[in-house]
Amino acid sequence: MSAYSFLTTWCVDAPIERAWEIIYASERYPKWWKSVRNVTELEPSDDNGVGGLSRFEWRARLPYSLEFDMRVTRCEPPYLLEGHASGELKGIGIWRLYAGKAGTAIVYSWDVSTTRRWMNRLAPLARPAFEWNHDYVMRQGAHGLAEELGAPLIAFD
């Protein structure tokens, strides 16, 4: 397996509670995040927002799709949402939200490995393209979130 570690920051001029509502509601991602083709709830979360399992299908600029399941393992509204991925990607994704004077900073850390044989074989040469594709997906997400919030995107990194 080829491992990747990504850290992305979005800053939006919106209250943390509104940003949290949209980030937490992953079943609505296809509405505002162009690279998300489909999200299917497989198991609901408990009353604390933990344990839910959803299947995600993603497609960006490169000519392939990725499908993986994500189980919520930690939920601390409106500050932290953690999930463990399995399927074509395996690893941990963590959303962290911070309130500030200029709005909300949203930091996503994504530590994953690919499980598709062809991706692992090509990784030594294709890693820059895979990383560029991830950046493209996250840029779409930043702009889509800002639009869904009706708030300016202050920064993307």
CATH number of 2-156: 3.30.530.20
Cis amide linkage into residue 78, ω under 30° from 0: yes
Residues 6+ apart with CB under 8 A from 41: 27, 52, 53, 54
- pTM for the full predicted model: 0.95
pLDDT at res. 1: 64
Q: Tell me the mean pLDDT per 10 residues along the chain, length 157.
A: 91 98 98 98 97 97 95 98 98 97 96 95 94 96 98 93
DSSP class of 42: E
CA-based nearest residue to 144, from 41, 40, 63, 36: 36
Burial of 145 per CB tally in 10 Å (0-12, 13-18, 19+): buried
DSSP 57-86: EEE-SSS-EEEEEEEEEEEETTTEEEEEEE
Domain chopping of the chain, boundaries: 2-156
pLDDT attached to residue 29: 98
What CA–CA distance (Å, rounded) separates 19 from 67? 25
